[in-house]
Amino acid sequence: MHDLQGKRVAVTGGSGFLGSHVVERLAERGADIFVPRSQTYDLVSADGVRRFYDDAAPQFVIHLAAQVGGIGANRDNPGKYFYDNLMMGVQLIEEARHRNVEKFVAIGTVCAYPKMTPVPFREDDLWNGYPEETNAPYGLAKKMLLVQSQAYREQYGFQSIFLLPVNLYGPRDNFDPASSHVIPALIKKCLDAIDSGADEIEVWGTGRASREFLYVDDCADGIVLATERYDDSEPVNLGAGREITVKDLIETIAKLTGFAGKIRWDESKPDGQPRRCLDVSRAAERFDFRAKTSFEDGLRRTIEWYRARRQDAA
């Protein structure tokens, strides 16, 4: 059990969507928090990583920074997503080892799982196939941090853990249509249609693919709990343990936003991974993490936050 009170904790990506919620949880624990800004520290470069450690002098590192996006962004940037995510993580872990950091928390991605993983996804299935093609470069880059984490623990006794969050959603999410994930993209589509008086919206794929979603506050709780209580080389899923089809998802979002028009499916666009739902028993057993937020409550809060943001910008 690590007591974070007064500990110097560096959070890469700490000003981002998930990171800002993690920083709030750490502040509640009394941690001394350092958040590197991308304008000051280029964590893809070795020099930027060294300067970050020089200035942060962390006892703990939680690595959340990533180049990430939805299916379209992954298809447009496979090389960048592979290189940037790999180089950030590998160099941050290597430098942490040299600096005698007490614990490194690496955040992976559900995209690392094989395309045809049996549902629910169990951590032991992580190496049983190739990831879904549209996000494989990103998923594999992140999965290499698990390999590094395990190898460094074995050879150097370096304390590093690897967490696998499922798709996240909630207030402060990215609503830019060029790079957003499915929930903010669909919320924006519905609210834009209501504002413009459009009688239909277009959605990618067939609607038959399924996804699991974890509310961002719950994920932040899981990461901080793991930082405090988990010390093992085995990867751990962070999820809610429930599955919904994209068709049911858009119908729920339409209902909650008040959009009553037609939903038109563009089946020429990819569905992505056919199904996605995690076995979350390991997190419950190892550090007592269980998601608390119901899906509809989380969606309502996300929609309310985005509506307020749109009104403030108007």
pLDDT in tens, the chain (314 residues): 899 999 999 999 999 999 999 999 999 999 999 999 999 999 999 999 999 999 999 999 999 999 887 778 888 999 999 999 999 999 999 999 999 999 999 999 999 999 999 999 999 999 999 999 989 999 999 999 999 999 999 999 999 999 999 999 999 999 998 878 899 999 999 999 999 999 999 998 999 999 999 999 999 999 999 999 999 999 999 999 999 999 999 999 999 999 999 999 999 998 887 888 999 999 999 999 999 999 999 999 999 999 999 988 76
Note the pLDDT of residue 74: 85
The length of the chain in residues reads: 314
What positions carry a catalytic annotation? 138
Q: Among 67, 148, 76, 149, which Cα is nearest to 109's?
A: 67
Name the residue with tokens 């008086």: 197
8 A C-beta contact, residue 230 and residue 236 = yes
Query: How far is it, in rounded angstroms, from Cα 128 to Cα 311?
Result: 47
For the four alpha carbons of 115, 120, 123 and 128, in that order, the dihedral sign comes to negative
In this structure, which amino acid lies at residue 216?
V
User: 100: which DSSP letter?
Assistant: T
8-169+214-240+277-292 adopts what CATH topology? Rossmann fold (3.40.50)
CB-based contact 263:149 (threshold 8 Å): no
Question: Which three-class secondary structure state does DSSP give residue 263?
Answer: strand
What integer pLDDT is reported at residue 247 of this predicted model? 96
